[in-house]
Structure formats: C-alpha cells, structure tokens
A = this chain, B = another copy of it.
C-alpha cells in the first residue's frame, strides 16, 4: 500500500512489535529486523531493543538509505548494501563460498555474506563467474571447493548453480536475483530456471533473498555439528 498520511501508530513504538525472543532457542536462528514497510522510527526502536535485550546476532535487512543512516548511529559491526549487523556470534570455523555470477548480483551476495558472518561462519565472496565464460568458473573452482557449502547467486537465465552442481559435491543453495532487464522478468526467469534445473540436487530460495539463503545455510552447517 503506497498511500500515506499521518501514522497513528508512530506514537506507540513500544506496542507495535511482538518480538520472538525465543526463536534462537527453538530454531537456532535469531529473529532479524526486516525493515521494508517499517517507518524509520519503528526500525530504530526495534533494533535498539534487540541490541539491549542481549539477543545474539542482531541483523537488520532491507534498509532504505534513510533507515540505514538512522541505525548507523547504533554502531553496527557489519555494514553492507541494505544490511547492518551487531553482536556477532563466536566464529564456528565453517566456510561458505558465496558465488555470484556478475557484479550486478553483489548487493544480494552482500546480504548473504554479512548474515553468515554475523552467525559466526566464514563467508568468502567469488564474483563474475557467469557461465558465459566457463573458464572463469573453472578457474575459480580451487577457491570454491574448500568450502563446505555453496551459495550460488545469479540473475538473467540463472544457469550458474546448474553448471556448478555438475562439478562439485557440496550442497548448493541457489539465489535468483532481479538483475537483468526485459525478459529477465525481475528475477522470475532465473528463479524458474533454477527450479527446473537438469542438475538434480540444487535447492532454491526466493528472488533476491540473500538473507534466507544464509539462514538455510546455517541450518545445514549446524546439522553436521549435532
């Protein structure tokens, strides 16, 4: 809903949010602040309370420039395109390769990498390895293979995870991005291609959802620690 006007809820900052503070206990994943559609005041208030309450790994995503500038006063530890993080978890020593097909996919890669970092994992970024130049991808394999898990990010036709899945043994989380124009259909084309892949063994998250990929990756990494 894009209409505006005085927001009568703004005066009741303390009332509008029911924080899910036990989420970490149940799922191993902290509640994050999804900022889209929230007012700058709401974002600041929720973030402040989460930092104060001592929750581990406070993460704010989908920040507008205005929202970001407000929470930057709260001294974030991690700073990326549209994302800020506080109170990172202790390092786990697990490594994830965040592989992006092109430079235009970097904001999504950023959101994924910083979320993984806040959860204590080591996330390495590998970019510009789209399948139009296979030698770039094969040249990057030595960087990719030591990782336990791969997040493969691509827009346009989204073929990167399909090709990767034929080359390596690791789990691959595919993230379609809205990069591209016209027939890319805001990421729908990449999404469909990843889901219909001829390389079985890939799983997919929503368009531009670098955050969701990181959370799913965390579940996989934790599985092997149990």
Closest to A83 in B: B5
A165 on the B face (CB < 8 A): yes
Task: Tell me the smallest distance from the CB of A202 to a CB of chain B, in Å.
Answer: 6
**Does residue A97 face the partner (Cβ distance < 8 Å to B)?**
no
* Contact assessment for A159 and B162 in the assembled complex, using a CB-CB cutoff below 8 Å: yes
Number of this chain's copies in the complex: 8
Q: Please, how many angstroms separate the alpha-carbon atoms of A82 and B5 in the complex?
A: 5
Partner of A79 from B6, B64, B186, B201 at Cβ < 8 Å: B6
A200-226 interface (Cβ within 8 A of B) = 200-209, 211-213, 215-216, 218-220, 222-226
Contact of A1 among B6, B81, B184 (CB under 8 A): B81
What 0/1 pattern do residues 3 to 24 of A give for CB contact below 8 A with B? 1111111000000111110110
CA distance A34 to B102 in the complex (A): 10
- In the bound complex, CA of A72 to CA of B84 (Å): 35
- Identify which of B162, B169, B192 contacts A222 (C-beta below 8 A): B169
Closest chain B residue, CB of each to CB of A199:
B132
- Give the number of chain A interface residues (Cβ < 8 Å): 125
- Encode contact with B along A56-76: 1 for CB under 8 Å, 0 otherwise: 000000111100110010000
Closest B residue to A210 by beta carbon equals B1
Q: How far is the CA of A193 from the CA of B107 in the complex (A)?
A: 22
Q: Is the CB of A23 within 8 A of B205?
A: no
Question: Which residues of A are in contact with B by a Cβ distance under 8 Å?
Answer: 1, 3-9, 16-20, 22-23, 26-29, 31-32, 34, 36-38, 42, 46, 62-65, 68-69, 72, 79-84, 101-108, 110-111, 127-136, 140, 148-149, 154, 156-159, 162-163, 165-173, 177-209, 211-213, 215-216, 218-220, 222-226
| Complex A-B: 20 CB contacts under 8 Å | A1-B107, A1-B108, A5-B68, A6-B68, A6-B81, A8-B80, A22-B133, A31-B133, A36-B179, A37-B179, A38-B104, A62-B181, A131-B131, A131-B159, A157-B193, A169-B219, A181-B207, A189-B189, A191-B195, A202-B205
